[in-house]
Amino acid sequence: MTPRPARSLFLICSPSYARWQRLLRRCAPKRLSLPALHVSGLLFSVSLLLLGASSTNPAPTPTIVKGFSLRRFTKEGVRRDTDLRADEARYFTRSELTLAGVTYTIYANDSANRPETVFTTPSATALPDQKILRGEQSVRVVRDDFEVSGEHWIYDHEAKTFNIGENARTVIKATLPDILK
């Protein structure tokens, strides 16, 4: 008795593999051996995997929200902490959002609750659970004392850090007396 060729559990359980086996047995010439059928079925299943065709797991469609807004309040719940707004938001899961036309505002933690920092960018990715906002396209950050712009950036709200990867430009709006002495 000859040993059977090794096959993975996926190929054995795959409905497309079983259909391919039945079709080959019905249409194949009689001199085609059974191991040849297994090899041809294996090639068919591998080609399906490479092409990405899967009848059981279709690509998920994103949820699209127009006029997206996400506000976070302080722990006391009295004042706004941050405000994330976008013209359009797309998300597959709640933990990652792809945004277009983004304005992210950080408010001062004082009685006036005035906007302290404002980010504007054409597109960004938000990770609300980790409080991270990042993007590949240009960003402009405006505060009372400086203005920063650049590309390939990331903002971590927990660590209060902002990093720009390319084309960084900074304008400091403060007087620097006697800097050239």
pLDDT for the residue numbered 181: 66
Render the burial of 95-133: b for 16+ CB within 10 Å, e for the rest: eebbbbbbebbbbeeeeeeeeebebbbebbbbebeeebb
pLDDT category at 136 given cuts 50, 70, 90 is very high
Tell me if 126 sits within 8 A of 97, measured CB to CB. Answer: yes
Span 79-129, pLDDT tens digits: 788 888 999 999 878 788 899 999 999 888 877 888 889 999 999 998 888
Mean pLDDT score, 156-180: 85
Q: Which residues face 117 on adjacent strands?
A: 106
Domain range list for the chain: 9-51, 63-172
- In the chain, at which residue ranges do the beta strands (DSSP E only) sit? 63-73, 80-93, 96-107, 115-127, 132-135, 139-142, 146-156, 161-172
Give me the CATH topology for the region 63-172. Answer: lipopolysaccharide transport protein A fold (2.60.450)
The better pLDDT of the pair 88, 73 is held by 88
Q: Convert the pLDDT of each residue in 24-69 to its tens digit.
A: 555 555 554 444 444 445 555 555 555 554 455 566 788 888 998 8
pLDDT at 94: 77
Phi-psi region of 146 (alpha: psi -120 to 50; beta: other; left: phi over 0): beta
